[in-house]
Structure 1
């Protein structure tokens, strides 16, 4: 009886092993095709060609390899030689070897692009599919892609990290706040500031539903603080003089942080030449950029921290990636600040509030869009290296960050809500449709800007409160569909968001 059971168990294990062995023939090529086709979809390449080429991974190349090997073996071996492995076993091994080589080559040569592609377009073949099975498959694929975040981080180097005077790792870890969703009616709720970490072993955060009666607010009017506007020349001679002046003129901690933000945003000009060159950056220490009045983001962040040190306020530098009105959904290296006010942490980006680049030159445009911006909203454009600085109860993964449509805080401050699509990049045949909720009746302009620098295409808008946007027909290529808003019909329209659209033609 025992032998019979062992025999039955051995047979069962044998067939389980054979089933797994056979499944590898399907899984290995499928992984290679999935990665390569996601790259093609992400870069608007020929996905169909990649899928056809997948036939090379199996069965064409493995079978041809085995046939050639068998032919050469028969020519040089005696007839009595016998194969240890069956033909099927050899084909499986060759399939694994070929696909492992292809995957390794892709991951080694383009790790950041591979991760971004599979985390944003890994479900390209399910685009437009509305079914519970499709939803589960999509969730599984994107979860698998997010599991490769380590690959991106291992290859990604933040070029500004070494320019920070006080290393971000030395900053205290913030206490997370209850999760907020940037994509569900943010205009109906007041901003929820983040509770600060307590000194006790088991900190109890302040309830998110009960923000302090006073303190930082967002959005705030784009008005430079009076202490900065009226700052005398003798108070501008050094960082210490600026800090002492602001401390004397503004006793309120929140408004004093705003004053520091306003001084940095108006005192410095963005070093567009160094940013575009990206080879060697000038000295970005606070004293250096204060004197030169020219800086990249690291200099802005360093100067803000240095002035706050004089005023007695706690400001730290945060490094990570950020994305604005650009064509890369994963963003690029960046540095910004976090300030603790009355025991709570707030996020600030004086660089992005100082102006913007146009045709390779810096255009000064003071704003307060990134002053005390709620974590859920800055989390659409900024992704810190240290997850705790997201100030969220459940930090986003890098894949979730990249999949979000690239909307700036001004988009949410204007009360807009994106209905469809909810992804940063989509592929269409020729026409692109966009749906917006616009409860405040903001005036909108939407343009599809071609990647090849051709003339932008004005999109057609229908409706006022519920806005349907139609762009097209679009010629084959990649477009940045940009949204601009203005409170008045003939006012200045500000860019508030962008989606990347691939038109297959």
Structure 2
């Protein structure tokens, strides 16, 4: 028991790391190789992995090539995701049928991944782990809760998302190849590849806003890891936030109850400086959207947006950058 505890503490102490550790690294060679290499299927994964990493020297570059290759070649299988969700809900109270379906689903999942290059989060995380293993990079699959605008936590009975931890230079990092790959349009039956740089070796504090691991140490956060309820109450961040933000400083919760004429400040640490006029703060009440006029201060990539809420009511407040949504908050402004 004491040995297990020691291992856990040691693990946490070496884990705190992020992409900022590698700001001096140029990934263009790894990216070019990964984007140019094509294969009809994944039946020879060793050959694919060797071909995209053989001319790269460091583990970091090899990891990058693997990650970018996955994100440019493996489509999201929204139909399989929907089928799995429907089956699990149907067999939720029938443990035998649920076990049978889980076994059938694993076979179906890997068959479609290998032959069709289509999968869901489990397949993405598995593929990254296996390709890393081929080149001697240690990686883990992390299971937990992924938070998006469409997730209803009141109906969730088990983890709904998977991502990865990878070890580079004796430090652990988090990444999400699923969400970095692109956008599904299930109503139209299509998937668009749109690589999101921000999910690669993300700052743990920012990554946690949308990723709650079942094993709390896998959050890589310094200090105490928030509870699941605290996670659910956090502000809602969108994919663009990961390209735009280094960290989300405040507020800590999505829902805010304030008094009329109170002044409220949103704070962020940016990855790079931006043009202030590219930012918009918009309030929404049903179908009525209104562009707010806050005070914006930007110094040393620290962004502070201050606004006085003069009107009573219940608002959704959205932060946009260049027409792309960053975050959503909810305000109840009372007397």
Of 228, 231, 239, the residue aligned with 2:34 is 228
Is the Cα–Cα contact under 8 Å of residues 329 and 406 in structure 1 kept in the other structure? no
Of 301, 314, 327, the residue aligned with 2:138 is 314
Match of 2:233 in 1: 403
Match of 1:268 in 2: 74
Unmatched segments (≥5 aa) in structure 2: 1-6, 89-104, 299-303
Match of 2:170 in 1: 343
Match of 2:100 in 1: none
1:462 aligns with 2:300: no
Give the aligned CA root-mean-square deviation in angstroms. Answer: 4.1
Q: Secondary structure in 1 aligned to 2:177?
A: coil
- Distance change (3 Å), C-alpha of 1:392 and 1:257: same
Is the Cα–Cα contact under 8 Å of residues 457 and 471 in structure 1 kept in the other structure? no
Match of 1:333 in 2: 160
State the Cα deviation string for residues 158-189 of structure 1 (Å, max 9, x = none).
Answer: xxxxxxxxxxxxxx96711489xxxxxxxxxx
Of 369, 379, 384, the residue aligned with 2:208 is 379
1:176 aligns with 2:9: no
Displacement of 1:287: 5.2
- Distance change (3 Å), C-alpha of 1:357 and 1:397: same
Q: Which range moves more in the overlay, 342-351 or 283-292?
A: 283-292
State the Cα deviation string for residues 284-338 of structure 1 (Å, max 9, x = none).
Answer: 6455314222222112111212222222322211000121345757897210011
CA distance in 2, matches of 1:235, 1:358: 23
Is the Cα–Cα contact under 8 Å of residues 261 and 309 in structure 2 kept in the other structure? yes
Displacement of 1:274: 3.8
- Distance change (3 Å), C-alpha of 1:463 and 1:376: closer
Is the Cα–Cα contact under 8 Å of residues 380 and 401 in structure 1 kept in the other structure? yes
Is the Cα–Cα contact under 8 Å of residues 75 and 119 in structure 2 kept in the other structure? yes
Of 96, 113, 118, the residue aligned with 1:294 is 118
Displacement of 1:370: 1.2
- Distance change (3 Å), C-alpha of 1:413 and 1:268: closer
CA distance in 2, matches of 1:474, 1:223: 54
Q: Secondary structure in 2 aligned to 1:482?
A: strand
Q: Which range moves more in the overlay, 418-427 or 238-247?
A: 418-427
Is the Cα–Cα contact under 8 Å of residues 433 and 469 in structure 1 kept in the other structure? yes
CA distance in 2, matches of 1:328, 1:343: 37
- Distance change (3 Å), C-alpha of 1:437 and 1:378: closer
Match of 1:422 in 2: 252
Kindly tell me the number of residue pairs found equivalent between the two proteins. Answer: 294
The structure that is strand-richer by fraction is 2
State the Cα deviation string for residues 404-441 of structure 1 (Å, max 9, x = none).
Answer: 32346864764687676432222468899652347835
CA distance in 2, matches of 1:406, 1:429: 22
Q: Secondary structure in 2 aligned to 1:373?
A: coil
CA distance in 2, matches of 1:372, 1:470: 36
Unmatched segments (≥5 aa) in structure 1: 1-171, 180-191, 195-210, 487-492
Is the Cα–Cα contact under 8 Å of residues 352 and 370 in structure 1 kept in the other structure? yes
Larger Rg: 1
